[in-house]
Amino acid sequence: MTIKIGLVGTGTVGGGCLDILANHKEDFKRIYGLDLELVRVCSLDVEAAKAYGVEDIFTTDFHDVVNDPEVDMVIELIGGTTFARTLVTEALKAGKHVVTANKALMATYGEEVMGLAAEKGLEIAFEASVGGGIPIIDPLKHSLTANGISSVMGIVNGTTNYMLTRMAQEGLAYEDVLAQAQALGYAEADPTADVDGLDAAAKIAILASIAFHSRVTINDVHTEGIRNIKPMDLDAAAEMGYAVKLLAIADRTDQGISVRVHPAMLPLSHQLSNVNGVFNAIYVTGDFVGETMFFGEGAGAGAAASAVMGDVIEVARHIQMGCGPIVGCTCVDKLPIVPVEDLECRYYIRFTVADRPGVMAAMAGVFAQHGVSLYSVSQRGSDDAGEVSLSFVTHTVAEKDVRAALAEIAQLEDVQLDDPSVIRVVK
Amino acid sequence: MTIKIGLVGTGTVGGGCLDILANHKEDFKRIYGLDLELVRVCSLDVEAAKAYGVEDIFTTDFHDVVNDPEVDMVIELIGGTTFARTLVTEALKAGKHVVTANKALMATYGEEVMGLAAEKGLEIAFEASVGGGIPIIDPLKHSLTANGISSVMGIVNGTTNYMLTRMAQEGLAYEDVLAQAQALGYAEADPTADVDGLDAAAKIAILASIAFHSRVTINDVHTEGIRNIKPMDLDAAAEMGYAVKLLAIADRTDQGISVRVHPAMLPLSHQLSNVNGVFNAIYVTGDFVGETMFFGEGAGAGAAASAVMGDVIEVARHIQMGCGPIVGCTCVDKLPIVPVEDLECRYYIRFTVADRPGVMAAMAGVFAQHGVSLYSVSQRGSDDAGEVSLSFVTHTVAEKDVRAALAEIAQLEDVQLDDPSVIRVVK
């Protein structure tokens, strides 16, 4: 059976999709009986069209794809929530199935576009929006459905994992490793989306919605990044038997869904602690399956294109079988989002403070007033005269008490010289 | 929609399925709109039926399940290839969908039962046959379909992984850790299927068939177990920077499919090296997705039942959607099995030999005659007077040359006191 495809976006992932079709078109015919025929390609990059030899089906106007009556399925790879939202919406309204890698769109307007797809009896598939090539949305929507999922926890941003790995292994400073990541193309010129955790927030919103059957959007995610982390924090973690990772976490609690992105210390024996460099992994805990992990390349042309084209084949199979979408949105519940202030865990907090008598005592006093019980305190000198690093590790305490203590410490006169590094201890 | 289920087998996994239904029946209705109604339960264990409160629908004759016109789907959890084969065949002939956890059946008669299912337009789902609760068959059949898979490599037997982990971490002897595994219920009274690699062989045959689109049966798998491994082998591996695992490996080579189960040394930095105890993991390499790994509990009531009931929900959804099986057998190719003699890799080989002059020289001479180039040789004394351990690590050499050398060494008079421990170095 011939399935006609329109591709919008010829960047890294779009190029990977064109490569997959060039390499495996005949395999897909032989194995699955599916002839995936590319009938329209759209992007603003005319040179890319030439490089891939698709000038004859090329356009710079996505309406030419959406309005082409031949097209069965549109692949959206332009990203963002403006043009992409319009494109996906118009494609669905025109009766086309949609495959997208767009995490921002799905984490912000997921309900809208999935609702529209359901109304039209069409599919919108988005495996590539989380974890690059790692199958994670499909396992959550299929293999693991017999479970009540209690937790989804992942390293879902390759840029920050690469940075933290090199900072830990080589003692590089944040600024230096960021510059290197940018030079290698692992980080954008404006690294905000990665280093401040926004990319990871979109991904965990998508996974939480699927795992807990209740819509979670990117705005529900409490998000902290890695800007304040220094090599000394990673050293301190290693000494205590922990690795530091930027984790995206969604927990099902008695109160609802706790969903957040922040740097975290994980025991070195935990599987996620061994996930280094640009690799991603997602750890899923279910009431019957127990603990599972899905590991792989979280970014890159090939990996993301593998997920996109896997979705394309799946949608094509459903068309071939004459059946509708097997699983659409399953957000049948409306669970509350638990405020991050309700979190309880252990904290590592490191301050850069003025090196003078009484500072540690004053800070420890503030923690005590707020009921933040300390497990350990350590002081380390600095190369910069007049400043010193003070690290506190707490027992299990309430986030709201830690926040109140941090706010009060920030008010202590002439004490704090920089934003503190706050790393929650997980497990 | 109500889907009526007949369950055959109320052992560990069957009990897990009954527990899942007891816990989540209402969730499945609410989330998926599926009422999974158990209408028949069969086993030889009347006490189990009472314990689960299913006496009113209980039978000891599986024909009562297969011939019940109400039953839409049969879950086969009795294992083996005799009664199970008959049961699955009769169920399909009677028009019932089948979900099974039976690795031996699928690795031996996969073509037969999948062919019959296709002929009847029915599904036979078997996620639980490999890797317990780990989603691996579903990702290979769906998310990863855009790839040419080059390798599937896994720790797919929890018993031997538990044994090797404890031998490595605590220096326990094979016999002692086997006795403990038996006492804990991790190993059977007759441990042959686990320790000789037969269980793993069935699993890799199933995975290879799916990954390479060419039927591989358990008889195609070259299989070696862990009986000859001693703690000193694990120590030697650790000193060289390796972990020893019983690996099930299926490689796509230019010649065809190389499929085997044997102890292997893996670099400690490899993800599979960190998979310890009864956990399982499967490492899949594809031409676009790159390296991925699927980790989780490889055995146990809950994990395996999670996979079985995930399949049940999936088949039920297809019935609900009014569509046929999405993916049946995809073995469209007929690739040759590459003889293990054609393998080329590095080898660790440890002999227990008579402690007298000239032995090492004679053995090294035999290796040299057969073109087996040595990377290192080391000798270690023994508590037993008159014997000594001699370990050889080769460069990359041909398996057939190693075999010829081993055969000749075995003929050396009064030299070899025990079967050698042969561990291939992977990666």
B-chain residues near A138 (CB < 8 A): 138-139, 142-143
B-chain residues near A148 (CB < 8 A): 23-24, 27
Contact present, B150 and B283 (Cβ < 8 Å): no
Would the CB atoms of B292 and A288 count as touching at under 8 Å?
no
Would the CB atoms of A289 and B307 count as touching at under 8 Å?
yes
Q: What is the ipTM of this complex?
A: 0.96
The residue of chain B with its CA nearest to that of A29 is: B332
Q: Give A187-198 pLDDT, tens digit per residue.
A: 999 999 999 999
Arithmetic mean of pLDDT over chain B: 95
The residue of chain B with its CA nearest to that of A332 is: B31
Among B340, B360, B317, which Cα is nearest to B401's? B340
d(CA B220, CA B108): 10
> Residue B97 pairs with which residues in a beta bridge?
B73
**Among the partner residues A144, A303, A333, nearest to B290 by beta-carbon distance:** A303
Q: Which residue has the tokens 């085997």?
A: B260
Instruction: Please give the C-alpha separations between residue B280 and each of B28, B126, B303, in angstroms, as whole numbers.
Output: 28, 17, 11
**Among the partner residues B133, B148, B322, nearest to A24 by beta-carbon distance:** B148
DSSP string, A281-323: EEEEEETTTEEEEEEEE-SSHHHHHHHHHHHHHHHHHHHHHT-
**Among the partner residues A138, A147, A306, nearest to B147 by beta-carbon distance:** A306
B-chain residues near A313 (CB < 8 A): 145-146
The residue of chain A with its CA nearest to that of B135 is: A143
Would the CB atoms of B288 and A133 count as touching at under 8 Å?
yes
- Report the gap between the CA of B121 and the closest CA in chain A (Å): 12
Instruction: Please give the C-alpha separations between residue A87 and each of A124, A217, B125, B424, in angstroms, as whole numbers.
Output: 13, 20, 37, 53
d(CA B348, CA B369): 18
**Among the partner residues B290, B296, B324, nearest to A290 by beta-carbon distance:** B296
pLDDT digit string (tens) for chain A, length 427 residues: 999 999 999 999 999 999 999 999 999 999 999 999 999 999 999 998 889 999 999 999 999 999 999 999 999 999 999 999 999 999 999 999 999 999 999 999 999 999 999 999 999 999 999 999 999 999 999 999 999 999 999 999 999 999 999 999 999 999 999 999 999 988 999 999 999 999 999 999 999 999 999 999 999 999 999 999 999 999 999 999 999 999 999 999 999 999 999 999 999 999 999 999 999 999 999 999 999 999 999 888 999 999 999 999 999 999 999 988 989 999 999 999 999 999 999 999 999 999 888 899 999 999 999 999 999 999 887 777 789 999 999 999 999 999 999 999 999 988 888 899 999 999 7
Residues of B acting as catalytic residues: 203
- CA B210 from chain centre, in angstroms, equals 14
A-chain residues near B146 (CB < 8 A): 20, 24, 305-306, 308-310, 312-313
Torsion, CA A15, CA A21, CA A22, CA A28, rounded to 10? 160
- CA A332 from chain centre, in angstroms, equals 23
d(CA B36, CA B54): 15
What does R_g of chain B's alpha carbons equal in angstroms? 24
* DSSP character at residue A215: -
* Backbone φ/ψ region at A210: left (φ over 0), alpha (ψ -120 to 50), beta: alpha
Average pLDDT over residues B358-371: 94
Would the CB atoms of A288 and B305 count as touching at under 8 Å?
yes
A-chain residues near B309 (CB < 8 A): 145-146, 288
- Give the 3-state secondary structure of chain B: CEEEEEEECCCHHHHHHHHHHHHHHHHHHHHHCCEEEEEEEECCCHHHHHHCCCHHHEECCCHHHHCCCCCCEEEECCCCCCHHHHHHHHHHHCCCEEEECCHHHHHHHHHHHHHHHHHHCCCEECHHHCCCCCCCHHHHHCCCCCCCEEEEEEECCHHHHHHHHHHHHHCCCHHHHHHHHHHCCCCCCCCHHHHCCHHHHHHHHHHHHHHHCECCCHHHCEECCCCCCCHHHHHHHHHHCEEEEEEEEEEEECCEEEEEEEEEEEECCCHHHHCCCCEEEEEEEECCCEEEEEEEECCCHHHHHHHHHHHHHHHHHHHHHCCCCCCCCCCCECCCECCHHHCEEEEEEEEEEECCCCHHHHHHHHHHHCCCCEEEEEEEECCCCCEEEEEEEECCEEHHHHHHHHHHHHHCCCCECCCCEEEEECC
Q: Is A93 a catalytic residue?
A: no
- Candidate list A4, A96, A203, A245, residue with the active-site label: A203
- Give the 3-state secondary structure of A153-193: EEECCHHHHHHHHHHHHHCCCHHHHHHHHHHCCCCCCCCHH
Other Cβ atoms less than 10 A from the Cβ of A209: the count is 26
Q: Give A111-162 pLDDT, tens digit per residue.
A: 999 999 999 999 999 999 999 999 999 999 999 999 999 999 999 999 999 9
